[in-house]
Each structure stands twice: as structure tokens, then as C-alpha cells.
């Protein structure tokens, strides 16, 4: 089901003023023709998350996608939940508009989420273990995103069973000077932003503030009754900052912080399971602070040592008919990581981490101490191998040992590459699952998994055309389920293939496509929930008028899938759907650029979660200023 658009904007003094300027959220900073069209083809891309130090993607055995600011923003998506939908192997789902409950399926794993890092800080909720809602993170506040798939606990510990999403916010690499934007769009949506970056005598800084206000639309069908008929509004205030000082003799100290304050309304739920007439308000609030301070120093010519302290403070609350539910917690993390070039072809990374999590909403605190090592060996100019392991000792659920091995083999004469990985991972039980007086089970074990992938990449036409195909598989044991109390019972398996094609047709036209097939089963025979068998995307990006005009079209295709339907005990099969989006950016001058995005161009009706509507055709437009 889909909320049909209302194309008539409300006429208010604020709306007239903003509409006169153009409007839109997070317009892409205009790029010159040269920078927009340089044919990188990812050959020069590097990854940091794959081995915890900077390494060319062509030497990485695990599957990793690296998106820079242009890749993230050329589609004009407001929030990261939409900007990442084109990544092979990933399926995003949202119940309702921005700020609604968010879910992600990665390589057929629908309940095992990847670990999310922002500026190196783990940003899950320490209280209930839920990953950060990517529907609350502005695409325009991100300068870079790495999506690392496959089991990664050997480097990142618990909850990296389905991979890692590493996000860098706008920071010290931003162009010096000020920046601002104004935006307006469908559902009476307003956006504002202001930021500044600069440097002086080894000291550099960056600070940004962004505000999003929207009347939204009804997350569930208004046909259910008056309690469901109102629009579900959403507000978001995000502040980010980063500072750094580089010493003349080498080394640096740094600090970063991210603050989010959100308010989102939601509907009462399935009317078949709502007793009586719903009364009162239904809304959720979040207040989240993530901060990190650290330093990086070169101990010797071949040895770099870094140390940091991270802090997370997450306070969430959900109010339904006056009954609140709280999930608040804090996390303190201390890490010391050393990267040593032991020889010309051998680099190893060794680290020590200690983490303390506090549950402020229920009983239970826990500590985790871990040590890990990663070996990266360049056997020759064509072959790179990785072997690593990690030991975790957690006060709540005991000891875990995980490992990972990868290879990357380049066939230069074919302009091709074969890569692969195999490893183990685990997902920790939450405080609620362990310690809740009614439903908890202190004997719960973490969910454990093994995963593998094998990929082939090939370039043609002097690198203008490239494609990749990756087979993958996951085997999860000791799945945590609720049977009156939480227990380790279920097994879960998924297999599939990811495919991607990119074609730089000319200096002004880029084409891309992706397709993922996933087959996931629970207990050996039951088709898994929230795993569409087929997910595909198409995209085209064109620049003209000497690089001043940029046009982007993208489409996503999703096949049918089984979905749980809220509070009902039966499951339903959702129909497949397709969505087409359009975006344009025009550089009026070196200081001004205008931006337009039309989402769901053909106003298609579809659901990503059973019983919850999605946005119909919607328009956002805006202006960005650099000063």
C-alpha cells in the first residue's frame, strides 16, 4: 500500500520564501567537469574498514563497496537508507516515512545486521543492541561510506556477522569556507543546513548543523480509522564536528562528535490486535551522542600506533497510548591499534580493545576485552593473502574466538581479478534477552555464523566497462528466538549471487546496474522472512553544459517476499515492486547550485513491510550556497 501524493504545497509565508529560493535537502555540491568525469573505475579506490588500515581495493579479498560524496549524493537522496539501496547484496526496508522503524537484509540475513561505525565509533544502542536507524542519517552529512560484506568479527568483534558499514561524516577534508542550504518538498518538508571548515597552523576544524522538519504521511492506511488517519510527522536535528592538530614532527591528535535529536510519530498498529479505541499519542524520540578522541603517531619508520577513546550515549523512548518504553544505554570503548610493515610484502595489524556497556533502562551491565591480529601478505605483484583472528572475553556471555582468511588474485593479462573470503562471526544477545526478569535467559549463547564468498571481476574497453559477480553463503547456528523465553534453537542458511556492471560510456555519461539473488531458509525448509529472492537496480548519470548540469535516473526492482505483519501471528507475501527516481543539479555559479529530486516518479503503490505504506510521488528542490 502506498500513500498517494498531494501535489499542492501548503501556501505559507515560510513556504513562499523558501520556494522562491528553490529548496531541497542536502543538495550535492557542484563539481567541475574534470572532477566529475575522471574515469577512476574504482581502480584507485582504497579501503580502510577491510583491514583497519588504508589499502587499495584491488588488494582486498572481502567484498567491499566504497562510495564517495559524489556517488552518495548524485541521486539526491535525503537519507542514507535510500542512498544505499543500489548496493548489491543489500535490501533496505522502512515502515512508513522518514524516521520509521528501519530494517536491512544483507546477503539473505534479515535479522543479523551489519555493524555500523560513524567516524570509527560503534553506534548501536547499548541497551537493546539495535543498529542505528540509517533513516535518521542525512546523506549530505556523509563524505564517504564503505560497505564491507561477509563475516567480520575477527576485526570488529560482536555484531559484525553480516558485515560492516563504515561512515565518515563531513569533516576535515571538506573545502575550506562556509556552506549553507535551504530545502522544501512534498509533505510540507523543510530543510536547513549551515557549516564551516577551516585550518590554521596545523589546526583544522569542521562543524555542521542540519534540520529536517516534515508533516509526513500516515504510515498505515487511514481506512483503519481516525487514529490512523493523521499524518505522521518527523523532525531531525543533527550536529557534527571534527577537529585535528598535526604536529610538525609528525603525528596528530583528533576529536569528533555527532549528535542526533529526532521525533517521529507512528500509527497504533494492526487494528485486529488493538484492544478498544486507541487513545493518546503514538510517537518515538531519540537523543544520541557519539564522540571520539584519539591520536596517531609513527613510533618507527615502519610502525604506526593509534589510540582512541569512544563514548556513546543513546536515549530512546516510544510512547503508545501513554505507555512508555525506554531503551537507553551508554558505551565506553578504549582501543589501541598498531600497524607494522614487518617486511616489504608483509603488514600486520594488532590491537587491544576494552568496552564497557551500561543498560540504563533495565538490569545488566557488561564488559568486553579483546585482542586481534590481522596479517596482510603480498605474495607477489598479483596475489595478496589475509589471515586474522580475534579473541573476545565478555562478562555476560563468555569467550568467543573468530577468524577470517581472504585472497585477491589479479590476472593482469586479462584485466581481471579473482577474490574470496571465509570466516566466522557472532552476534551477541542483548541485555533484554539475557537479563529481563520475565523473558530473559542468562544462559543464552551468542548466535554464531560462518560465511564465504568467491568473486570475479573483469574490465573491458580500457577500463570503461567493468563487471563483477560474487557467490556467497552463510550458515548461522544458535539462532536466538522467543518461545515464552529467549532460547538458542534455530538454524539459518542463505546462499546467493551478487552482480554489478558499470559502463563509462563517455566523459559525460555513466551507466550502472546490479542484481542480487538470495535464497534463505530457516530450520532447513522454511523460506525466510524479509528476504526477496531478486533485487536489482539500474542507474544513469549524465553531465552537460560544461559540467554545470547533472542529471541522474535510478530504478530499483524487488521481487515478492514473505513478511511478518506487525502484531499478527500469520505472515503474508508482499508483491514485488519497482520504483524510479529522478534527480538534477545545476551549478548557477561558483557559490550557488540548485537541486531537484523526484522520488517514485510513477507514483507506484508498494509495501516494504506488511501493512505499512511508502511514499508516493514526491518532489524536493533546493539551493546550496558556498561562502
Q: Where are the domains of the chain?
A: 2-626
Examine the pLDDT at 173 and tell me if it is beyond 80. Answer: no
Reported as type and span, the H/E element at residue 20 is: helix 13-21
> With respect to CATH, is domain 2-626 assigned 3.50.50.60?
no
Question: What's the pLDDT band for 524 if we cut at 50, 70, 90?
Answer: confident
pTM of the model as a whole:
0.91
Examine the pLDDT at 569 and tell me if it is beyond 60. Answer: no
pLDDT digits (tens, 9 = 90+) for 366-398: 999 999 999 999 999 999 999 999 999 999 999
Bigger pLDDT: 3 vs 67? 67
Bigger pLDDT: 250 vs 333? 333
Question: What's the pLDDT band for 237 if we cut at 50, 70, 90?
Answer: very high
H-only helix segments in 386-487: 431-435
CB within 8 Å of 206: residues ≥ 6 apart: 170, 171, 172, 174, 195, 196, 197, 198, 241, 242, 243
The pLDDT value given to residue 99: 79
| Distance of alpha carbon 553 from alpha carbon 511, whole angstroms | 10
Q: Helix, strand, or coil here: 115?
A: strand
Q: Helix, strand, or coil here: 6?
A: coil
Contact of 219 with 612, CB cutoff 8 Å: yes
| Distance of alpha carbon 26 from alpha carbon 580, whole angstroms | 20
Q: Helix, strand, or coil here: 432?
A: helix
Please report where in the chains the cell 541485555 appears, as a residue.
Answer: 431
Examine the pLDDT at 17 and tell me if it is beyond 60. Answer: no
pLDDT digits (tens, 9 = 90+) for 482-507: 888 999 987 899 999 999 999 999 99
Question: What's the pLDDT band for 565 if we cut at 50, 70, 90?
Answer: low
Q: What is the widest separation between alpha-carbon atoms in the chain?
A: 72
| Distance of alpha carbon 484 from alpha carbon 184, whole angstroms | 48
| Distance of alpha carbon 330 from alpha carbon 390, whole angstroms | 24
For the record, the C-alpha cell of 344 comes out as 616489504
Examine the pLDDT at 88 and tell me if it is beyond 50. Answer: yes
Mean of the pLDDT values across residues 162-178? 88
The pLDDT value given to residue 140: 86
Work out the mean pLDDT of the chain and round it to a whole number. 88
Q: Which of 444, 524, 523, 529 is nearest to 488 (CA)?
A: 444
The pLDDT value given to residue 8: 35
Mean of the pLDDT values across residues 505-511? 95
For the record, the C-alpha cell of 527 comes out as 523460506
| Distance of alpha carbon 502 from alpha carbon 40, whole angstroms | 11
Cα angle at 536 between 535 and 540, to 5 degrees?
155
Examine the pLDDT at 570 and tell me if it is beyond 60. Answer: yes
CB within 8 Å of 165: residues ≥ 6 apart: 84, 114, 115, 116, 117, 134, 145, 146, 147, 148
Mean of the pLDDT values across residues 438-460? 94
The pLDDT value given to residue 3: 54
Examine the pLDDT at 40 and tell me if it is beyond 50. Answer: no
Examine the pLDDT at 568 and tell me if it is beyond 50. Answer: no
Question: What's the pLDDT band for 6 if we cut at 50, 70, 90?
Answer: very low
pLDDT digits (tens, 9 = 90+) for 250-277: 899 999 999 999 999 988 877 776 666 6
Other CB atoms within a 10 A radius of the CB of residue 119 amount to 21
Contact of 67 with 45, CB cutoff 8 Å: no
| Distance of alpha carbon 506 from alpha carbon 371, whole angstroms | 48
Burial status of residue 324 (CB atoms within 10 A of its CB: 0-12, 13-18, 19 or more): exposed
Amino acid at each position: 500500500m502506498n500513500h498517494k501524493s498531494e501535489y499542492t504545497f501548503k501556501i505559507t509565508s515560510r513556504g513562499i520564501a523558501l520556494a522562491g529560493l528553490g529548496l531541497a535537502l542536502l543538495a550535492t555540491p557542484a563539481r567541475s567537469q574534470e572532477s566529475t568525469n575522471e574515469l577512476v573505475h574504482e581502480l584507485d579506490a582504497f579501503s580502510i574498514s577491510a583491514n583497519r588500515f588504508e589499502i587499495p581495493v584491488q588488494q582486498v579479498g572481502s567484498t567491499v563497496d566504497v562510495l564517495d560524496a559524489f556517488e552518495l549524493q548524485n541521486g539526491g537522496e535525503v537519507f542514507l537508507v535510500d542512498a544505499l539501496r543500489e548496493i548489491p547484496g543489500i535490501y533496505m526496508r522502512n515502515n512508513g516515512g522518514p524516521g520509521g522503524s528501519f530494517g536491512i537484509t544483507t546477503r539473505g540475513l534479515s535479522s543479523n545486521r551489519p555493524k555500523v561505525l560513524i567516524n570509527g565509533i560503534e553506534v548501536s544502542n547499548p541497551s537493546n543492541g539495535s543498529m542505528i536507524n540509517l533513516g535518521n542519517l542525512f546523506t549530505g552529512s556523509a563524505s564517504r561510506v564503505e560497505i564491507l560484506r561477509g563475516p567480520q568479527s575477527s576485526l570488529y568483534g560482536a555484531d559484525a556477522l553480516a558485515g560492516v558499514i563504515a561512515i565518515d561524516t563531513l569533516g576535515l577534508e571538506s573545502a575550506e569556507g562556509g556552506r549553507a542550504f535551504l530545502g522544501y518538498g512534498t509533505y510540507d518538508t523543510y530543510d536547513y543546513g549551515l557549516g564551516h571548515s577551516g585550518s590554521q597552523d596545523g589546526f583544522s576544524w569542521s562543524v555542521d548543523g542540519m534540520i529536517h522538519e516534515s508533516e509526513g504521511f500516515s504510515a498505515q492506511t487511514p481506512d483503519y480509522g481516525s487514529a490512523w488517519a493523521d499524518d505522521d510527522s518527523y523532525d531531525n536535528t543533527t550536529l557534527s564536528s571534527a577537529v585535528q592538530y598535526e604536529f610538525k614532527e609528525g603525528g596528530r591528535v583528533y576529536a569528533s562528535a555527532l549528535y542526533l535529536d529526532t521525533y517521529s510519530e507512528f500509527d497504533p498498529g494492526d487494528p485486529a490486535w488493538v484492544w478498544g479505541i486507541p487513545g493518546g499519542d503514538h510517537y518515538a524520540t531519540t537523543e544520541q551522542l557519539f564522540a571520539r578522541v584519539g591520536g596517531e603517531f609513527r613510533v618507527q619508520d615502519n610502525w604506526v600506533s593509534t589510540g582512541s577513546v569512544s563514548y556513546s550515549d543513546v536515549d530512546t523512548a516510544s510512547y503508545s497510548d501513554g505507555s512508555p518504553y525506554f531503551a537507553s544505554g551508554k558505551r565506553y570503548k578504549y582501543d589501541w591499534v598498531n600497524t607494522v610493515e614487518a617486511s616489504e610484502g608483509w603488514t600486520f595489524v594488532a590491537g587491544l580493545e576494552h568496552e564497557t556497556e551500561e543498560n540504563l533502562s533495565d538490569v545488566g551491565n557488561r564488559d568486553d576485552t579483546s585482542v586481534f591480529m590481522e596479517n596482510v601478505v603480498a605474495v607477489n605483484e598479483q596475489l595478496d593473502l589475509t589471515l586474522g583472528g580475534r579473541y573476545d572475553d565478555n562478562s555476560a556471555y563468555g569467550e568467543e574466538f573468530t577468524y577470517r582468511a581472504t585472497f585477491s588474485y589479479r590476472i593482469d593479462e586479462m584485466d581481471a581479478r579473482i577474490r574470496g573470503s571465509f570466516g566466522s562471526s557472532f552476534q551477541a544477545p542483548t541485555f533484554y534477552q539475557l537479563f529481563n526478569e520475565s523473558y530473559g535467559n542468562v544462559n543464552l549463547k551468542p548466535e554464531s555464523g560462518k560465511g564465504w564468498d568467491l568473486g570475479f571481476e573483469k574490465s573491458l574497453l580500457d577500463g570503461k566497462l567493468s563487471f563483477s559477480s560474487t557467490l556467497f553463503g552463510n550458515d548461522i547456528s544458535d539462532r536466538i528466538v522467543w518461545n515464552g523465553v529467549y532460547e538458542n534453537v534455530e538454524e539459518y542458511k542463505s546462499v546467493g549471487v551478487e552482480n554489478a556492471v558499470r559502463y563509462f560510456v563517455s566523459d559525460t555519461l555513466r551507466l550502472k546496474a546490479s542484481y542480487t539473488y538470495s535464497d534463505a531458509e530457516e530450520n532447513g525448509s522454511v523460506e525466510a522472512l524479509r528476504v526477496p529472492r531478486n533485487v536489482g537496480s539500474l542507474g544513469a548519470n549524465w553531465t552537460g553544459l560544461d559540467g554545470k548540469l547533472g542529471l541522474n535516473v535510478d530504478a530499483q526492482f524487488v521481487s515478492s517476499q514473505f513478511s511478518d505483519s506487525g502484531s499478527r501471528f500469520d505472515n503474508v507475501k508482499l508483491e514485488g515492486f519497482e520504483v524510479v527516481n529522478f534527480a538534477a543539479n545545476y551549478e548557477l555559479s561558483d557559490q550557488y547550485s540548485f537541486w531537484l529530486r523526484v522520488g517514485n516518479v510513477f507514483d507506484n503503490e508498494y509495501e516494504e513491510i506488511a501493512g505499512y505504506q511508502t511514499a508516493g510521488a514526491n518532489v524536493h528542490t533546493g539551493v546550496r550556497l558556498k561562502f
